[in-house]
Structure 1
């Protein structure tokens, strides 16, 4: 704990004083730009990956970046989605998987998880993705099969997401956009699902227009 305690002390002495106005604003409420659903894996650091500040993202993390299909049983992920869309009115939801995902590996062989019954049951929400890989990925090597699973899982969880009433309504009203990403930890690359082609493309290419416009606005603001 010494490392974490030292980090808090550094935050209080060095970071907070430089951002008093930001934290003062955040103390009055939040208006995040997106709900970000990603894996609990300790290697996923969203502030670093997306270069965002506190208040920008409403975050849900769990093993395998899973979204259970909507049901009448209340769960933490379901409640968080409902709050983010129904109360906070986020305009975007991103589901982000990652390479070397332990949850994805576990989903490929659930029989080995008998000593982790809750994990085994949770990863059952990835079953359709696993079955797709088993059906059409038999001729692929282990690496490519895992890549296929990560991408199929993103597609599956996006479909699950659309079963949530608040999400379905917001999409129907044109107030919400869904995004599927896969983060390659070793390469620093992020691939995003192109809804028109159903293929994964580099974020830098798929969002090129949006990125260009954002950079123009931030540059203009900096010189304003």
Structure 2
């Protein structure tokens, strides 16, 4: 904890060294994009994108999960997205999944358990490829949930909002983006 306290104490000096104009950041809240990701501490949107203060409006959730829209039961995630789209007028929303995601791993193992399929003791890593594919599918599923929010659909229709599906590999530091034409995640 002391490391975090020490870094917070010298933030202003670090920001000045990186030419961050804190006064300008304080006056205008106009992020370049919204970045929705898992709350996993190993996934750091500003580090991945080299964003400066004010560049990204972040929403971090367990597994990067975007709950389905339901007008009768609004969620904090939904309100946060509405604020980004309607008030901040972000033009891009990135939904970013990552490798080694506990949520995806748990979902995969729960799926196997309910299907009666089990991992073989002979091969300790039979799910590696499937976990990556499942991670990609998970990101696209969240993007689909996002596109069903009433604040998002009209902005998509008039092309003032663009949705992006990314996948960050924690082991290599590589970030992939989904390309619809190729129907694949490819390096940025």
Under TM normalisation by the shorter chain, which class is it?
0.7 to 0.9
Partner of 2:105: 105
Alignment size in residue pairs: 177
TM-score, normalised with respect to structure 2 = 0.87
Give CA deviations for 1:137-156 in whole Å, capped at 9, x if unaligned.
x9x93101101110111111
* 1:153-164 equivalence runs, <5 A: 153-164=138-149
1:55 aligns with 2:54: yes
- What are the ranges of 5 or more consecutive residues in structure 2 without an aligned counterpart? 120-124
Give CA deviations for 1:70-105 in whole Å, capped at 9, x if unaligned.
112111110111010111110100000000101111
Partner of 1:172: 157
Displacement after TM superposition at 1:196 (Å) = 2.0
Partner of 2:127: 142
Aligned CA distance change for structure 1 residues 185 and 20 (closer, same or farther; 3 Å): closer
- What are the ranges of 5 or more consecutive residues in structure 1 without an aligned counterpart? 111-129, 204-224
Q: Where has structure 1 moved over 6 Å in runs of 4 or more?
A: none
CA contact (8 A) 2:95 2:139 kept: yes
CA RMSD of superposed structures (Å): 2.1
CA contact (8 A) 2:20 2:53 kept: no
Which gives a bigger RCO, structure 1 or 2 (Cα 8 Å, sep 6+)?
2
Greater per-residue helix proportion: 1
1:151 aligns with 2:136: yes
Give CA deviations for 1:27-51 in whole Å, capped at 9, x if unaligned.
1121111110000000012222101
TM-score, normalised with respect to structure 1 = 0.74
Displacement after TM superposition at 1:4 (Å) = 1.2
